[in-house]
Structure 1
Amino acid sequence: MNEQSATPGEPAESSSMTAKAGKAGKDTWRSWGGNLTVKPAVIVRPENTDQVEQVLRDAAAQGLRVRPAGSGQSFSPLVPTSDVLLDATALSGLSSIDTEKQQVTVFGGTTIQQICQILEDHGLALANMPDFTGQTIAGAIATGTHGTGLGQPSLSEQITEITLATPSGELITCSESSHPEMLRAARVHLGVLGVIVSVTIQCVSAFRLHCAEFREPLDRLVDSLAERMSGADHFEFFWMPGRSTVHTRILSRLHRLPDTYTRPASPLSRALRRADDAVLRTSLTSGLGRLASMAPKTVPGLNTLESMSKSSRRYTDVSYRVFTAPRAVRFVSTEYALPLENTAAAFSELKDLVDREGYTLSFPVLVRCSPPEQGYLSPSAGRYTGWISLRQYGKRPYEEFFRAAEHIFLNHGGRPHWGVIHTQTAETLKPMYSNWDDFLAVRSELDPHGLLLNDHTRLLLGL
């Protein structure tokens, strides 16, 4: 067995919360999308497991609530608290790697980008992953963050073991063989079970992806959507309101990388693709979004220009470089997980709503898919899923459109992504999940006094 290990930081020796948290202060916390801002009593930044445990014990002794935070990618108010905000981003890096079992254990604050780079150095890769790598692994699985593709496990399903620092200040490790019910709860945990100290991920051999991007008629695609999703390794499409065509993106998995592997594509071609991503597919979108916020009547024409900028192209690269896309433009989002067989009908109703009411978006509607998951509160729990995501430039209005779209999604059996803007509460959420009470039982066992709850999670869980 080829195994390596490391430990972040040294155990803290001071008895104060500030010292044991590594770094602390009365800062203002802001979400990535800019729609959430809070100034808690203190922000603590633990640098190792001992400091996390001590923060939880100190907060419990002082009667303070604690909310863990990662990179702030959620648009729903899961993090804000007036008490202690635990910033886990310093608790990062490689804990251990077993190349024979193809398993890697990383600390909870490690970003997906860091994980991909660690795996690449060892000839491994994530089987499937989200389209953005700035999220911490603990934050990504907290909300059920996903990629696309029906034949490969989602990110949370690749997690085989999770170690939590519980509100009592103890460590519990759960896996399929030890506390399996806790693992199913922790795979989509909302940050209410404990602070995720580390996770073990089942990886695969490094592989390449071939990406084919092209434009096609919208109606033809929607009529065969389930078949198209089932027929590709990874499938997604983008539709800009007002257009009769869509931008389709199909990713095909290629052979395992040979020992003599060198990066596919010449340095020049990769540089041209990066320039295309940075200029036409990122900076242009940002500039058009800012212009639309100042002159809303120009939105239809600007959307046409933005849509035309995405030309057809084909390329091959290391898997994580193809799965992901730059996210330099700030936005807010709502997204719903629908039964796969209902996705086309829900999308058609959404299109009719946009055409009828004249709603405008600065970003295309994104449609993806994912396989069933075991997590108690996974939006994909127990069913093949189609995802419909709406994104709006942060300075433009979105509330009315998001609410109208949400009504359509709910009528088609949709479940909200936990990290996006939605209006659901425990009353409406509980009937969506067959293991709702099982999750609450695990939460009650690990945090009987509600140390890790804030107003939003209480509303979500009915506590």
Structure 2
Amino acid sequence: MKATTASPADRWRNWGGTASCTPNRVISPSSAEEIATIVRETAERGGTVKTVGAGHSFSPIAVADDVQLELSGLRGLVGVDGKQVTLKAGTHLHEIPALLAPHGLAMANLGDVDRQTIAGATSTGTHGTGLAFGGIATQIAAVTLVDGTGEIVRLGPEDPDFPAAALGLGSLGVLVEITLNCVDDFRLHAVEGPASATEAIEGFLDRVAAADHHEFYLFPHTDCALVKTNTRLPADAAVSGPSGFRRYLDDELLSNKVFRLLCEIGRRAPGLVPKINAFAGRSLSARELTDASTKVFVSNRDVRFREMEYAIPLEDVPDALREIRSMIDRRGYRVSFPIEVRAAAADDLMLSTASGRTSGYIAVHRYHRDDPADSDAYFADVEAILTAVGGRPHWGKMHTRDAEYLRSVYPRFDEFLSVRDRFDPSRVFANGYLRRVLGD
């Protein structure tokens, strides 16, 4: 176990630059037993412990006031039993395909970013898109964690507390191992292309119902959208599509390097943003490709941004998008980042954003160097629209909701709090964010 005493030079910041802290100690444990000792000792002196993964959450959910645990020493494959795969909790999503490949397996669904750890992704409710698929936490078959008393606990679906532990916000304990229900390896056939914003919005409910995976991006200040649909294919389906150079041109040069330049121009001259977005929208071209699932699901994101995302009842998505577009124009915002729209199946996890209801997801972003006050005002106006229809904020992204509001949109909220009382009675895993969203 490696322990260090943090100094101002060791100040931790998340990827988006929206949260930071200087913990009293940073510890890198390599076993559940080491974590149990740390938790017991910290609890005895009245301190707190927070675990940090890749720092890809935009909310302050991982901010450590006292002891910060970083799990780079807990990575890799523990074992495979049929299609159930047990991973150490600090394993990054981008490391998992190589671990599963020798066994002919894959994760059932993913989002478009794979920098997170499996513990961080599941604990914050990370998800992809597709009405037959829940968030990544719904793929969990069992978890092993160290609770607030320093006990090592393993929970599976047969345990009444499992629907809390599978997506626990880091408030119930330190995840040590996660067992996933995987699927046979598969490929995806992707069809991507431009559409009008009106067409993308009006056709969303039909398209998401008909496709395995469907999402789209709206370009503010324009009538342009980029529509993406993925169809699942067997693992032996032929790889096809653009050349390596064309994919580099689309996915790296245009989507990252050129986009970063355009965001910088828009930051310095906000009045140009509508013209820049119109140019970007007109530059969209159609393409098709077939490749390994992870290579299609995941996109490289080098341009840093701030993000807020809400889950709302699926049927409310079109009207909410129309209202957001109208609000942007009415309020005079200049937004360079597209609005992302996805969907997910209902599930039974207590604090999943899709708990008990089929959900649509609307994510809004701002370039990380945009004026913070303007960005915050934009997020607040979007948040008002989405909370008016019972929206649930993504736990790892920016929002202003508190326990009073969250209790009104999560039917099992108080049930979760009772589990927390048993797993962490002295609140050794608390921080400011958890006190706001959970109430104490």
Equivalents in 2 of 1:62, 1:369: separation in Å?
A: 45
Measured at CA, do residues 187 and 308 of structure 1 come closer, stay the same or move farther in structure 2, by a change above 3 Å?
farther
Q: Which residue of 1 aligns with 2:214?
A: 235
Q: Which residue of 2 aligns with 1:251?
A: 230
Equivalents in 1 of 2:270, 2:198: separation in Å?
A: 28
Q: Is the 8 A contact 1:338 1:412 kept in 2?
A: yes
2:12 is the counterpart of 1:32: no
Q: 2:148 is matched with which residue: 144, 167, 175?
A: 167
Shift of residue 271, structure 1, vs aligned partner: 4.3
Q: Which residue of 2 aligns with 1:290?
A: 264
Measured at CA, do residues 91 and 308 of structure 1 come closer, stay the same or move farther in structure 2, by a change above 3 Å?
farther
Shift of residue 127, structure 1, vs aligned partner: 1.0
Equivalents in 1 of 2:336, 2:223: separation in Å?
A: 17
Q: Under a length normalisation based on structure 1, what TM-score does the superposition of the two structures give? A: 0.91
Q: Which residue of 1 aligns with 2:358?
A: 384
Which runs of at least 4 in structure 1 moved beyond 3 Å after TM superposition?
A: none
State the secondary structure of the residue aligned to 1:373: coil
Equivalents in 1 of 2:3, 2:336: separation in Å?
A: 38
Identity of aligned residues (%): 36
2:201 is the counterpart of 1:201: no
1:61-82 CA deviation, whole Å, 9 max, x = no partner?
3321111111111111112232
* Residues 79-98 of structure 1 aligned to structure 2 (within 5 Å): 79-98=62-81
Equivalents in 2 of 1:412, 1:209: separation in Å?
A: 33
Equivalents in 1 of 2:20, 2:157: separation in Å?
A: 38
Equivalents in 2 of 1:89, 1:111: separation in Å?
A: 9
1:411-458 CA deviation, whole Å, 9 max, x = no partner?
122111111111100111101111111111111101001100011111
- Between 1:88-97 and 1:338-347, the stretch displaced more is 88-97
Equivalents in 1 of 2:61, 2:292: separation in Å?
A: 33
Measured at CA, do residues 86 and 309 of structure 1 come closer, stay the same or move farther in structure 2, by a change above 3 Å?
farther
1:326-366 CA deviation, whole Å, 9 max, x = no partner?
01111110000010011111111111111222222221000
- Unpaired runs of 5+ residues, structure 1, are 1-20
CA RMSD of aligned residues (A): 1.5
Shift of residue 137, structure 1, vs aligned partner: 0.6
Q: Which amino acid aligns with 1:363?
A: F
Q: Is the 8 A contact 2:3 2:25 kept in 1?
A: no
Q: Which amino acid aligns with 1:222?
A: I
1:374-425 CA deviation, whole Å, 9 max, x = no partner?
1101111011110000011111131001000000001122111111111100
2:385 is the counterpart of 1:408: yes
Q: 1:448 is matched with which residue: 388, 401, 425?
A: 425
2:277 is the counterpart of 1:303: yes
* Residues 13-32 of structure 1 aligned to structure 2 (within 5 Å): 21-26=1-6, 27-32=10-15
- Unpaired runs of 5+ residues, structure 2, are none
Q: Is the 8 A contact 2:43 2:426 kept in 1?
A: no
Q: Which amino acid aligns with 2:29?
A: P
Equivalents in 2 of 1:23, 1:131: separation in Å?
A: 33
1:77-98 CA deviation, whole Å, 9 max, x = no partner?
1122321111123311111112
Q: 1:187 is matched with which residue: 156, 166, 170?
A: 166
2:35 is the counterpart of 1:43: no
State the secondary structure of the residue aligned to 1:212: strand
* Residues 59-458 of structure 1 aligned to structure 2 (within 5 Å): 59-98=42-81, 101-177=82-158, 179=159, 181-255=160-234, 257-258=235-236, 264-265=239-240, 269-397=243-371, 398-458=375-435
Q: Which amino acid aligns with 1:68?
A: T
Equivalent residue pairs, number? 434
- Between 1:308-317 and 1:235-244, the stretch displaced more is 308-317
Q: Which amino acid aligns with 1:25?
A: T
